[in-house]
Structure 1
Amino acid sequence: MSPSELWLRAWRRVRGRFMPCEAAAERLPDEAGIRRLGLAPLRGLALWWPIGFTATVLALSSVGALHSLQGRALLLFMLACAGLGFAWLARWVWAWPSSSRVFRSSLSGAVGMVLVALVIRHGASADEAEWLRLVFMGLGVTVMGGVSFVSIYRRHQILARQRELAERELALAAQAQLAQAQIQPHFLFNSLASLQHWVHQGDARAAPLLDALTAYLRATLPLFNRRQLSLGEELEAVRQYLAVMQARLGARLRVDIEVPEALRAVQLPPALLLTLVENAIEHGVVPKLGAAFLRIEAEQQGPTLYLRVIDDGPGLPEQLPPARAGRGVGLSNSRLRLAQSFGDEASLNLENSAETGGCVATLRLPLAMAMPPGAPA
């Protein structure tokens, strides 16, 4: 174990004994929190106070003030100011730890102490000069040791924070892959089951369904390996999916897509809109015995984009609380991927439509975050 790690362990033990609550509750700040810890306007104070301190001692020595009680009191006051300078210096290093900055800061403090120790020999008696020289040399060593320890401890914290963020990124990537893996089989199994049944029955609908399914897989599977798709690309995948469903359901499925061209550059997690369409087909269109209607629309309202998938099926059960609507695996995965991409700025809600009597799924996105860089808002 290195000396720095031994010092770090000893410090943690002391802090845990005298500050158990703070030690237990400590959390590593994010990068914004690290920046807020720094006091940029006061960085000059941490670097330049040794120069001012040296000039003060020079002035006192030139007039023999160190021999008086007032001069000694003023010197003690300057020592207190030096302690304040150490505090600001430590906080600065805490906020911006780097080897070069620590070296410059600690060296400036140590040099200032040595200069003071050398200068006071010309304005004080032999006993006073020896005492003050020892004091300032000790302060110089304290500056270098203290600042170095703060920097080492802070660098350990930042490395731990980076490891934590890397592990979180890996966990989110694994969750996204799991969500993606749960999207495709549901649709494929249903289509293959219909295809198998029609082939066994010698139904003429088997060939068109096979053609549509092959075109869908060839066109869309490469897209789902990407982290994000444009709304235009997602709509193309939805059209391929609806072609498969129309091959299965026949002419009773009618589809209307109203998405302005200006909004088709919006970036989405893959298969997000497709999941909503699949949910509307499964729960709104398939249960109907007669003709069924499905509408996909996009609308911008100020800084917010609304995507809606509307059907004229039976709608949500009346006894189902609104908070529990759309809590299936597919929609839960969609909410998870929304949170990963947009945080709390995005939402997905399901409710009954007063216009069609069916269900409307509304996807709300922050347009500024969803638009690619350089695209007009």
Structure 2
Amino acid sequence: MEPLRGSLQLRARVRRSDPFGGARPSRWNLLARFAVTHDRVLATVHPGSGTVGVTVLCEPDAAHWVDLFALDEGSNYENAESLLRALSHQVAAQRREERARAEREATDNALTVARLNLLQAQVEPHFLYNTLANAQVLARTDPPRAEQMLGHLIQYLRHSLPREHDTLSTLGEELERTRAYLEILRIRMGARLQLQVEVPDALKQVPLPSMMLQTLVENAIKHGLEPKPGGGTVWILARRADDQVAITVADDGCGFGNGASAGTGIGLKNLRERLRLTYGDAASFSIVSNFPNGVAATVAVPAPEAPAAPPPLPPFAQPGGAGHA
């Protein structure tokens, strides 16, 4: 086998069947002196775009002029048929493997979407029931606040409507959903809940799994601010570093090991699993202590490719450029 520039060449020397049946020909048989004992096969593979070309040459392993005196006896026709059968068998096997691989990939994709949908359903917040119960109480005691709470709930649900065949949202959409969620909690917590958002407009189109930002905010409030007597602040920050976008949710609440509820960990476990199913190894999640107190959780996802810059305008088309006389 010899690699050539842009192709691969295979040479073989095949012993042909003995036309004399093992008996030595008579020394008076002059044609027997030109008997060919081997054939040679030359196959050249030419890779192409989506296709492969194969050139096959089968001929006696002898000088060209021998064909004038000795018959081929069909041995090279048999060699060509054998090569054709072998190639057909390999092509059929390759096609079967490709079909099986495509079916496995389709099944894996369907399972991945199903698992993502299941995980998203699991992280759907239980506060919806609490909000309706609170609104029912406020409708009797404080109708204006009840109306305000229902308005924020409608806004929240508007951003929570599922979209067919789309498991990804954007950072901007998730931020709007989270704002509506926080406004509902602010009615209940009052001045104990403060919010600071630092998300550049250029990053609001970054794809992000649905409900992921809200999961981090829910954890910050449930385990950090609600157990703290005076409440505190939640920060939502986003920044780009090379080919990654980091989204951080931080709080100045109770932090780790300060009497806060430890929770079940299902929310963060689902978050990690959704990151893995969506991005593979290209995304990461970390959670650390905030300074001087509280917790900071960061999700890093691949940054979208920057759009190509438009070509420069010719001088006559630029503002202030020369026009026709």
TM class by shorter-chain length?
0.7 to 0.9
Q: List gaps (5 residues or longer) in structure 2.
A: 13-31, 310-325
Once the two structures are superposed, residues 257-287 of structure 1 have per-residue CA deviations (whole angstroms, 9 ceiling, x without a partner) of 0112222221111221121112212211222
Does the residue aligned with 2:73 lie in a helix, a strand or coil?
Answer: helix
User: Which amino acid in structure 2 is aligned with residue 157 of structure 1?
Assistant: E
Q: In structure 2, which of residues 273, 288, 302 is the aligned counterpart of residue 366 of structure 1?
A: 302
Aligned equivalents of 2:151 and 2:4: distance in 1? 65
> What secondary structure sits across from 2:74 in the alignment?
helix
Q: Distance in 2 between matches of 1:326 and 1:348?
A: 18
Map 1:87-102 onto structure 2 (within 5 A): 89=45, 101=52
| Distance of 1:329 and 1:301 partners within structure 2 | 29
Q: Per-residue CA shift, 1:25-58, capped at 9, x if unaligned?
A: xxxxxxxxxxxxxx89453636xx79xxxxxxxx
Once the two structures are superposed, what CA deviation does each residue of 1:310-355 show, in whole Å capped at 9, x if it has no partner? 11111123799xxxx9972222222222122321121112222123
Distance 2:147 2:173 in 1: 26
Q: Equivalent of 1:348, from 285, 289, 297? A: 285
Q: CA deviation at 1:238?
A: 1.5
Match of 1:138 among 72, 78, 83: 78
Distance 2:157 2:308 in 1: 30
1:147 aligns with 2:112: no
Structure whose residues are more often helix by fraction: 1
Matches within 5 A, 1:1-377: 41=5, 43=7, 45=9, 76=38, 79=40, 82=41, 85=42, 89=45, 101=52, 105=54, 108-109=55-56, 112-113=57-58, 116=59, 123-124=66-67, 129-130=70-71, 132-199=72-139, 202-204=141-143, 205-222=145-162, 226-317=166-257, 328-355=265-292, 357-367=293-303, 371=304, 374=307
**Aligned equivalents of 1:248 and 1:225: distance in 2?**
36
Distance 2:136 2:93 in 1: 65
State the alpha-carbon separation in 2 of the partners of residues 295 and 121 from structure 1: 85
Inter-partner Cα distance in structure 2 for 1:68 and 1:327: 88
Amino acid at match of 1:305: V
Alpha-carbon distance, 1:298 to partner: 1.3
Task: Give the conservation status (yes or no) of the 8 Å contact 2:289–2:295.
Answer: yes
Contact 2:117 2:167 (C-alpha < 8 Å) held by counterparts: no
Aligned length: 285
Equivalent position of 1:4 in the other structure? none
Decide which structure has greater strand share: 2
Q: Is the Cα contact below 8 Å between 2:231 and 2:253 reproduced in 1? A: no
Q: What amino acid does structure 1 have at the position aligned with 2:307?
A: G
C-alpha distance in 2, partners of 1:225/1:241? 25
Matched position secondary structure for 1:289: coil
Normalised TM-score (structure 1): 0.65
- Cα distance in 2 for residues equivalent to 1:243 and 1:212: 7
Shift of the 161–41 alpha-carbon distance from structure 1 to 2, 3 Å rule, reads: farther
Q: Tell me the SS of whatever aligns to 2:93.
A: helix
Residue pair 2:250, 2:295 contacting (<8 A) in 1 also: yes
Instruction: Please give the alpha-carbon distance, in whole angstroms, between the structure 1 residues aligned to 2:204 and 2:237.
Output: 11
Letter of the structure 2 residue corresponding to residue 45 of structure 1: Q
Cα contact 2:34–2:66 (8 A) shared by 1: no
Whole-Å Cα distance in 1 between the matches of residues 266 and 164 of structure 2?
18
User: Does the 8 Å CA contact 1:326/1:349 hold for their aligned counterparts?
Assistant: no
For residue 300 of structure 1, report the CA deviation from its aligned partner. Answer: 2.4
The amino acid that maps onto 2:298 is T
Q: Secondary structure, in 3 states, of the residue corresponding to 1:300?
A: strand
Q: Percent identity?
A: 31
* Deviation of 1:211 (Å): 2.0
Cα distance in 1, alignment partners of residues 228 and 258 from structure 2? 18
Query: One-letter code of the match for 2:9?
Result: L
Unaligned runs of 5+ in 1: 1-38, 51-65
1:30 maps to what in 2?
none
Q: 1:344 to 1:121 in 2, by over 3 A?
A: closer
Indicate the structure (1 or 2) with the bigger Cα radius of gyration: 2
Q: Does the 8 Å contact 1:253/1:292 carry over to 2?
A: yes
Corresponding letter in the other structure for 1:363: V
Q: Write the deviation string for residues 127-169 of structure 1: whole angstroms up to 9, x where unpaired.
A: xx34x43321110111110100000011111111111100000
Determine the C-alpha separation between the residues in 2 that align with 1:346 and 1:326: 24
RMSD, aligned α-carbons? 3.6
8 Å CA contact 1:335, 1:348 repeated in 2: yes
The residue that corresponds to 1:18 in the other structure is none
Report the CA distance shift for 1:236/1:45 in structure 2 as closer, same or farther (over 3 A): same
Structure 1 position 251, deviation (Å): 2.1
